[in-house]
Amino acid sequence: MRKVRVCTYALLACVCFFLNLDCERTLLPVDSNKKIDYEQADTKARVTLKVLDMHSMAPISGAKISIIGVDSSLTDSKGTVIFDSIKPGEYIITCSKAGFEEIYDQLSITLDSNSNTVPIVNQSSNGYLLAKKGAAVRGNIYYKKGDKYFPANGASIECELISPTNQMFQNPLRTTSSANGTYIFASLPEYTNYNITVRPYSNGTLSYTQKVSLPCNGKSAGDTIRVNDIVLEESPDGVFLIMSHNLKTYTKSEPIVLEFSEAIDTSKIGKDSISVFKGTGISVEQILIQKQWQNNNKKLVITPFDGTWDPRESYSLNLDGFVSIAGKQLGNSNILPSYFSPITSGALGNVMNLTALDYLTDTLVNYGTNSIILNWSPLANALNYQIYQKRPIDSSWIFLKSVSDTFTVITTSGSFQARKQLKYIVLGENSTTTSPLNTATALTVKDQMPPTITNAITEVSISGFDNTFGTVPQAIYIPSVGGTFNFSEPMDTTIKPVLDVIEGSDPLSASGDPAYKVSKASSLWIWTGLNSGRMLVLVDEGKDGSNDTLKIDFTGLTDIAGNKFDTTKKVFTVYTN
């Protein structure tokens, strides 16, 4: 997609008049002497967008406006749509409706630089002009040989759409001339300027080029513009031409292909005559390539030695010492772009197998996780991946970053405390599209790590359970001597461990009172904090609770996020003395 800016002040003034929009309007900060700290990411704007017919300036209802990665909606009867709660940042806008040429534009949401105490977002009001499709351009192409003109059969023609505003069209459109040299571009946007360019052409023996592109002014839908004939002239004597190349359209698995107007004298091609480099500036490295000549040495095919190009790299091509069999020099190597990269295109599916782990421990996300690593499966034709996040305080998805790998690390300090959670969406993107947002799978990331007891309780028996001569109940704590069971994270204190009492710790022992065991009903679990607690048991006066087995079952406990207790350490057993 190429952005053409031919900004017409009169047209833009007209747009502002019809839209009745004040693009500089800013909400005023409240009067206050108190310093208030606001998080910039929470500052949101209302975005008002309006769509008009480029020719009649009438509002267009039912046009689809999309803020890529955020939201989309249809315009109302006044051609207006409003998006609420859009956070500061850079966005791509698309606007389309059946029968009109789709446009693209950029939208910037910024903070008011004059709001020193309270950050205030600049409200945004933009207008877009859609051009109705249906105009056509028709013409003929000839090549001149001597004093005669001949139809250029099979010439490649491009039509560049030039917007009168600073909006973007998909560019360029392409077609091929017929046997009689005729070409036509149909279903073009009305009242839009067009630029017609013919690529170098060969009649099989000689090469011909167009000296200057042909501009023309669009008319209304239904009209056909008959443009001036294009006459291609023979290239200067002593040179041959690159007729076509695919440096702007090749993919990572396709070769680079150059076609020449005349056969190349390959005997004069040295080891350094064809070189491909990766990188720009001072970071340039020559790569190993394979070369093949086809079509009687009029076509050059270049592939990387390992078979694929890297879409993330910029490449450059150097041709040196090229001479045709007729002894001519290459005359138009300047038509090759200085740098190029393989494109990735085509429809993208949903990113699959999105997972999150604690970055430092490579385990499930925990209460105290400070950073996470997101991983996902690659999409075959994705160039990069867009990461979006949604916090509990967010009303919409927030763009975080774009990465080329299938993983990324995100700082999350404090995000999983008090039952908090984060949500993530990953979208693939390539040269032409992104993964569909409406079917993307959102991953909810929260504390999933089971709580554990962090301190080592080594007691196997506790004394003081013989209260035979006592006159009041004897209170005994487990662990003893003021100890507590300490947990790895804050627990749900509405849930308590379960105490089980078994008479006798040794079936062969006769100590203690076989007719008495510690009462479970008289026992109490005490939470001494969110992360700690202990068990209080009572031995009735005049009773001997020795030689019993006490089991504290933690199975039912959960942390505040609802995670069950670690089942490998769910029961603590102690014997009474």
In the predicted structure, residue 177 carries a pLDDT above the cut 70: yes
pLDDT for position 512: 66
Out of 99-113, 323-337, 457-471, pick the least confident.
99-113
Cβ atoms of 452 and 566 closer than 8 Å: yes
pLDDT for position 113: 52
pLDDT for position 10: 41
Cβ neighbours of residue 552 under 8 Å, at least 6 residues apart? 478, 497, 498, 499, 535, 571, 572, 573, 574
Domain 133-234 belongs in CATH node 3.30.70.520: no
Q: Residue 571: enclosing H or E segment and its boundaries?
A: strand 571-576
Out of 99-113, 416-430, 492-506, pick the least confident.
99-113
Q: How confident is the model at residue 133 (pLDDT cuts 50, 70, 90)?
A: very high
- What gap in Å lies between CA 311 and CA 13, rounded to an integer? 42
In the predicted structure, residue 130 carries a pLDDT above the cut 60: yes
In the predicted structure, residue 2 carries a pLDDT above the cut 80: no
Number of neighbouring beta carbons within 10 Å of residue 24? 8
pTM (2 d.p.): 0.50
Average pLDDT over residues 218-236: 89
- What gap in Å lies between CA 235 and CA 202, rounded to an integer? 10
Average pLDDT over residues 98-118: 72
Q: Please report how many Cα atoms fall inside a 13 Å half-sphere around the Cα of residue 576, on the Cβ side.
A: 30
Instruction: Give domain limits for the chain.
Output: 9-130, 133-234, 239-335, 355-446, 461-576
Q: What pLDDT digit, counting tens, does each position of 50-59 carry? A: 999 988 999 9
pLDDT for position 111: 60
pLDDT for position 260: 92
* Measured CA distances, 232 to 139, 141, 184, 236, 339 (Å): 13, 7, 17, 12, 28
What's the full length of the chain, in residues?
577
pLDDT for position 509: 53
In the predicted structure, residue 14 carries a pLDDT above the cut 50: no
pLDDT for position 370: 95
Block residue for tokens 């206050």: 32
In the predicted structure, residue 229 carries a pLDDT above the cut 90: yes
In the predicted structure, residue 124 carries a pLDDT above the cut 70: no
- The residue among 46, 64, 62 whose CA lies nearest residue 104 is 64
Average pLDDT over residues 258-272: 92
Average pLDDT, the chain: 84
pLDDT for position 122: 57
The CATH class, in words, for 9-130 is mainly beta
Q: What pLDDT digit, counting tens, does each position of 502-555 carry? A: 887 654 454 667 888 888 888 999 999 999 999 999 999 999 988 888 899 998
Q: Residue 18: enclosing H or E segment and its boundaries?
A: helix 9-19
pLDDT for position 506: 58
More confident residue, 29 or 529: 529
pLDDT for position 572: 86
Average pLDDT over residues 466-472: 92
In the predicted structure, residue 266 carries a pLDDT above the cut 90: yes
Question: What's the topology of domain 239-335?
Answer: Immunoglobulin-like (2.60.40)
More confident residue, 559 or 16: 559
229: its two tokens:
């004939």
pLDDT for position 419: 86
- What gap in Å lies between CA 512 and CA 322, rounded to an integer? 106
pLDDT for position 456: 80
In the predicted structure, residue 372 carries a pLDDT above the cut 50: yes
pLDDT for position 412: 94
Cβ atoms of 351 and 376 closer than 8 Å: yes
pLDDT for position 442: 93
Largest CA distance in the chain: 133
Q: With pLDDT > 90 as the criterion, what percentage of the chain qualifies? A: 49
Q: What pLDDT digit, counting tens, does each position of 186-205 carry? A: 999 998 889 999 988 888 77
Average pLDDT over residues 422-427: 95
The CATH class, in words, for 355-446 is mainly beta
Q: What pLDDT digit, counting tens, does each position of 279-301 carry? A: 988 889 999 999 999 999 999 99
